[in-house]
Amino acid sequence: MYKYDEDKMFTYLRGFLTGLEYEQSLAALGFAREKHKGCIRKGNGQPYIVHPLWMACYAVALGIRDDSIIAAILLHDVPEDTGTPLSALPVSDEAREIVDCMTIKPYNSESKWQCKERYFRGLLRVPGAIICKGLDRYNNLSTMEGDMPNSSIDKNIIETNELLLPVMKEAKEKWPSYSNPIFILRTNVRTICDTLDRVHNVSARRDEIVEKLKNTPAIQEPTIEASRSSKSNPRF
C-alpha cells in the first residue's frame, strides 16, 4: 500500500491555508495533529493523522473553499477518538456542528443498524457534514482491502450502498452550490464500493449481514486510552 507522507501533507496544507487566511483550519491543523499523536491506523500502520490530512488535501483539490468545512474535516475524529469535548475544539460553532454530525452517538436501546440509519440521516443537517463523510468513507474504502477483516469490509459496503449513497444523492439536490464536489465524491465512493463488492460478493449475502446488524446492540467504541496503550486506533 502507498504510504502517504504526513509531513509533506501537513506542510502543504499549512502553506495553502495561510495563503487563504483560514484561521480556523490552521488552528485545527495543529490541534488535530497533537490530539492524534501516537495513534496509528489499524491495519495499515500509518500515523492516524494521515487520514484527516488526506481528507483535507482532497477537499482542497475538489475546490472546497470554506474555512469551517476544512477545519471540521481535520477535526472530525477528535471528539470520538480522543474524548475531547466538542466545546474544546478551536473553531466556530458552524465547524463544531459538522464535527458533531460526524460523531457517532449510539443509544442503548437501538441496534447497530438503527444507530447507523439515524447517524447517516443526521448528515443532512449541514452540507459540510455530507462532504466530510464522503471524504471519510472514500479514504476508508480505499485503504481497507488487505488491511481490515472481511466482516468490516462487508459492513462498510452494505452501509455505503444502503445508507450513505442515498443520503449523498439527496444532499446533492438539497445544496446545489455543493453539487459538484458531492457528485464527484459520490461517484468515487460508489465506484470503489462496487469493486469491493465484486471481490467479496457482499450483495449476495446482503440479507444475512443486515440481519446481523439489526440484531446486534449499538455499542460505544473503545476509548482512546485503550487505543493508545496498543499504539493503534481500532476505528476505521
Range of the domain at 47: 6-229
- List alpha helices for the chain, DSSP H: 6-20, 23-35, 50-61, 67-75, 78-82, 93-102, 112-122, 127-142, 150-159, 165-174, 179-200, 206-214, 224-229
* Residue 234 falls inside a structural domain: no
Whether residue 103 is predicted with pLDDT greater than 90 in this model: the reply is yes
On whether the CB atoms of residues 67 and 25 are closer than 8 A, the answer is yes
Q: By C-alpha distance, which of 53, 64, 63 is closest to 3?
A: 53
In a domain, 193, yes or no: yes
- Whether residue 204 is contained in a domain is answered as yes
Task: Please indicate, yes or no, if residue 216 is contained in any of the structural domains.
Answer: yes
How many Å separate Cα 223 from the centre of its chain? 18
Mean pLDDT is lowest, of 44-48, 90-94, 141-145, 178-182, for 44-48
Residue 1 is predicted with a pLDDT of 66
In a domain, 1, yes or no: no
Whether the per-residue pLDDT at 228 is higher than 70: the answer is: no
- Asked, for residue 206, whether it belongs to a domain, the answer is yes
Helix (H, G, I), strand (E, B), or coil: what is residue 100? helix
Domain membership of residue 105 (yes or no) is yes
On the question of pLDDT at 234 being above 80, the answer is no
Give percent of the chain above pLDDT 90: 88
CATH number of the domain at 66, please. 1.10.3210.10
Q: Which residues contact 13 (CB under 8 A, 6 or more apart)?
A: 25, 29, 53, 56, 57, 60
Mean pLDDT to the nearest integer, 130-147: 95
What's the average model confidence in pLDDT over 56-60?
Answer: 98
pLDDT in tens, 14-32: 999 999 999 999 999 999 9
CA distance 236 to 228: 15
Q: Which of 131, 123, 111, 134 is nearest to 189 (CA)?
A: 134
The count of structural domains within the chain is 1
Predicted TM-score of the model (pTM) = 0.92
Tell me: the pLDDT tens digits for 159-188? Answer: 999 999 999 999 999 999 999 999 999 999
In terms of phi and psi (left: phi > 0; alpha: psi -120 to 50; beta: otherwise), the region of 149 is: beta
Is the distance from CB of 127 to CB of 73 less than 8 angstroms?
no
DSSP 40: B
Residue 162 lies in a domain: yes
* Cβ atoms of residues 30 and 14 within 8 Å: no
